[in-house]
Amino acid sequence: MTEATWGESAKTPDINWRMSASLENVPRGETDIAEVTNLERAVRDWVGLDPEHRDAATLTTDHPVQIEGVSSTTLTGEAIAAIAEHLPPIPSQKK
């Protein structure tokens, strides 16, 4: 028998930043097409958007992402911002 542990880490387990994800409802030049990339890139792109486009954007992932005990494959606004708080640091560039 295995003992279950319920703590803060269970609310937000490690995120698979390499899974496929698409950022939708974001203008790309003359069009408004979804870009399929990895989750880390999609979230970093969302962070770089102006507030109006952040509000309109939808992030869709290959697998559910769990943040603060809530699991979903389609995220918007505050949910994307919550994921952004967990982004891994950008590796420093070697000189």
8 A C-beta contact, residue 83 and residue 41: no
Q: Which residues pair with 28 in a beta bridge?
A: 31
Q: Exposed/middle/buried for 45, CB within 10 Å: 0-12, 13-18, 19+?
A: middle
Which residues are CB-neighbours of 74 under 8 A, at least 6 positions away?
58, 59, 60, 61
Please report the pLDDT score of residue 62 as a whole number: 94
Please report the pLDDT score of residue 4 as a whole number: 44
Q: Where is 37: in which H helix or E strand?
A: strand 35-38
The span from the CA of 58 to the CA of 66, in Å, is 16
* pTM reported for the whole predicted model: 0.79
The model's pLDDT over 46-86, given as tens digits with 9 standing for 90+, comes to 999 999 999 999 999 999 999 888 899 999 999 999 999 99
The model's pLDDT over 15-33, given as tens digits with 9 standing for 90+, comes to 999 999 999 988 766 766 6
DSSP 8-class letter at 47: H
The span from the CA of 46 to the CA of 44, in Å, is 5
Residue spans per domain, the chain: 16-84
